[in-house]
Amino acid sequence: MAAKRNSMPRPDYDLRLYVAGQTPRSVQALANLTKICEEYLAGRYRIQIIDLLEKPQLAKGDQILAIPTLVRTLPEPIRKIIGDLSNKERVLVGLDVRSGV
Amino acid sequence: MKLKANLNLQRDRSLPKCPTGITGFDEITLGGLPRGRPSLICGGAGCGKTLFGMEFLARGAKDFDEPGVCISFEETPEDLAQNAISLGFDLKALDRSKKLIVDYIHIDKSEIAETGEYDLEGLFIRIGSAIDSIGAKRVVLDTPEALFGGLNDEGVLRSELRRLFRWLKDKGVTAVITGERGEGTLTRHGIEEYVSDCVVLLDHRLQNGIVTRRLRVLKYRGSVHGTNEYPFLIGEHGISVLPVTSLGLTHKISDERISTGVSGLDEMLEGQGYYRGSSILVTGTAGTGKSSLAATLVNAACARGEACLYFSFEESPDQIFRNMRSIGIDLARWVKKGLLSIHSTRPTTHGLELHLVEMHTLLEKHRPKIVVIDPLSSLMNGSAGNTSDVTNMVLRVIDRLKQLGATGFFTALTSGGEATEATDLNISSLVDTWLLLRDVEADGERNRILYVLKSRGMAHSNQLREFIMTRNGVELREAYLGPAGVLTGSARVAQEARERDDEFRTLRENESRRVTLSRKLRAAEAQMAALEAEKEAAVRELESAAVEVEERRKSALAHRQEMARSRKVHLQPKLARVKASEAGA
């Protein structure tokens, strides 16, 4: 899974999605996230996918426990959303996107 | 039933254990925590759960070459390291040498939103990667229940925790999971359901204003374990649990004898003193010299170069020094030399258990040959315990001393009215030698008397002796039996004087008899000399008389020859005859 929309030097929304292997839940989460981003943040976001099975040491930095976890590193402050992101409303609230639209 | 018991025993033998290295804990669990399984350590706030976990890891890394991972959900690695240092564990050094990893897992609910399904695979991955990176054999999770505060979905959390514990078991690591005690349950969220192999309960409670920490092994599947509540202490060297009655009465005993420091008392004990490693009890009313007897023993032992430990519950070290100087015993110099260590505490400063733990710790530290507890009875009056508690404690102390082969010397105060052959503590049957000091009031004096009430394994004297404290130490004097009982004090002195007088008189009589007799002898000798002289004189007289006769005969002969010459008569033949007769004579 390559990072998407990373052509922009500094996106408004810098997102990291932590997964552990290609589980259905991870795939679901990424699909949900991409859909929401395209809908509300087109062109202003970047998604990094971090597979902890490959890079377990990265779990420490963002205090990752739950899988999947979405971390919004930009804009600050850091926000985390855990779960498969199936509830669009809550994702938007979690990312603090609504107010920005 | 019997079959089941057998089965248990067999399993116990085969159940591998992981020694924690925590003093005393491995004894009560017969080897430690179940190896390769998770154990739950639970208790209220501040009961020492985290410390238990940290010590388990630190000792594992240091003493058993088992690297460990600590997953802390509550404290940062810095805080943990700080706390551990105060207990003698350098977590940072262990971390540098790849023996220990501390991972702090923190969840801030305010920055987390939940939407949809999730699991805790991230946590598994973190723990797994920490374990794999140093080949950890031990894992501590402190306190995973904190997750309940950070995540909303309790159902997921529960199933994930259950999965986590099983996963740890599959990994083959020995895990310690701590849990805060909840209302009516062992842990706040009931995670004890998922950790079923071994559950240890820590507790600290207030009793008569004194806090005692206690530990109990609630459950240990497949193993025999001590089921009592064991007091424990968090001290400079971590946790020490007291295996209260690990006593098997199998301690080795010694035939060696040690001097009591009082020659008179040695005499009473077959002339050799106490057995090494025995327990000696001295009872007596106030001021009968119990402490002095203790100090004398210590002084003698230190002079032999043996380490001594003195627990004083009434006097400060300085006071002991001063008081003992008054009977010519200088204990301060032994302290300076490092042979003697005096610990003065008020019995009320802490509970019995803590006293006991403190004693154990000090015993471990000093490894003394002689241990004095002065007085035992004040523990009873001062601390929170009741009689049976104190008796129990004394039993534990005696056990420990016997295990160490140290000689125990205990004093106990008996109040005047009571029977002297009984102690408040009912410990008389526990001790090997029991000395009794008593006041005797007579002739307007109060004097001290000592006797040996019992002394196991030796033919001790049955005599009462007077116990005297002089500037040069303690002395025992022969006590005299007078018409009114035992003579002590001035009555004894008077008796001694009388005996001296008698002796002197006999001596004088003997002397005069000797003089008379020798005079008589000399007189007889003189007489004999006189008679001898008389005899000699007689002999001499006899001899001179014979000479005279001869001379007379010769002169008569000469006269006759003269006559014959004048008469011209030749007397030759006659002369010849005379000559012949002379030759014949």
User: What average pLDDT does range B312-328 have in this prediction?
Assistant: 89
Tell the residue number behind the tokens 């006559």, with chain if given. B563
Q: What is the CATH number of the domain that holds B148?
A: 3.40.50.300
Number of folded domains that form chain B: 3
* Contact (CB<8Å) A67/B111: no
With contacts defined as CB-CB under 8 Å, which chain A residues touch B107? Answer: 63, 65
Domain of residue B120, residue span: 2-241
Least confident of B229-238, B253-262, B315-324, B504-513: B229-238
For residues B434 and B465, membership in a common domain is answered with yes
Q: In what order do the strands lie in the sheet with B100-104?
A: B100-104, B68-72, B138-142, B174-180, B38-43, B198-207, B210-220, B229-235, B238-241
Peptide bond into B115 cis (omega under 30): no
Domain membership of residue B582 (yes or no) is no
Mean pLDDT of B493-521: 88
Q: pLDDT tens digits for B538-567?
A: 999 999 999 999 999 999 999 888 888 888
Contacts of B7 (CB under 8 A, 6+ apart): none
Would B173 be classed as within a structural domain?
Answer: yes
Residue of B289, B247, B296 whose CA lies nearest to B467: B289
Domain annotation covers residue B581: no
Please name each of the domains of chain A with its CATH number. 13-92 (3.40.30.10)
B285, B431: one domain: yes
Displacement of CA B30 from its chain's centroid (Å)? 27
Both B402 and B449 in a single domain? yes
B584 lies in some domain: no
Mean pLDDT of the B331-355 span: 84
Query: Based on the domain organization, do B218 and B330 belong to the same domain?
Result: no
Query: Domain end: B438, B453, B480, which one?
Result: B480
B377 vs A21, residue with greater confidence? A21
Same domain, B224 and B170: yes
The answer on B351 and B206 residing in a single domain is no
Do both B122 and B158 map to the same domain?
Answer: yes
Kindly state the average pLDDT of the residues B451-456.
86
Report the first-to-last Cα separation within chain A, whole angstroms.
28
Same domain? B300 vs B393: yes
**In this structure, is residue B108 part of a structural domain?**
yes
In this structure, the answer to whether residues B85 and B175 fall within a common structural domain is yes
Mutate to test the interface with B, among A22, A73, A79, A82 (most CBs of B within 10 A): A82
Which range, of A29-38, B12-21, B378-387, averages the lowest pLDDT? B378-387
Same domain, B405 and B286: yes
Distance to chain A for B104, nearest Cα, Å: 8
- pLDDT beyond 60 at B577: no
* Residue B168 in domain: yes
User: What's the mean per-residue pLDDT of chain B?
Assistant: 82
B342/B463 same-domain check: yes
Indicate whether B49 pLDDT > 50. Answer: yes
Does B7 score more than 60 pLDDT? no
Q: Which residues sit opposite B199 in a β-bridge?
A: B40, B219
Count helices and strands (H / E) in chain A: 3, 4
> In this structure, what are the phi and psi dihedrals at residue B275, rounded to the nearest 5 degrees?
-80, 140
Q: Do A67 and B121 touch (CB under 8 A)?
A: yes
Chosen domain end from B480, B505, B526: B480
What band does B483 get if pLDDT is binned at 50, 70 and 90?
Answer: low
Asked if residue B301 and residue B203 are part of one domain, the reply reads no
Task: Give the integer Cα–Cα distance in Å for B31 and B228.
Answer: 16
For the whole model, what pTM was predicted?
A: 0.64
What is the chain A residue with the closest CA to B157? A66
Domain boundary pick from B241, B266, B287: B241
Helix (H, G, I), strand (E, B) or coil at A71: strand
Where would I find the beta strands (DSSP E) of B73-226?
100-104, 112-114, 138-142, 174-180, 198-207, 210-220
Of all residues in chain B, the percent with pLDDT exceeding 70 is 87
Show residues of chain B in contact with A67, CB under 8 Å.
118-122
Task: Kindly give the confidence (pLDDT) of every residue in chain A, 101 residues in length, as a single tens digit, with 9 standing for 90 and above.
Answer: 444 444 456 778 889 999 988 888 889 899 988 988 888 888 888 899 999 888 888 888 888 888 899 998 888 888 888 888 888 888 888 887 765 44
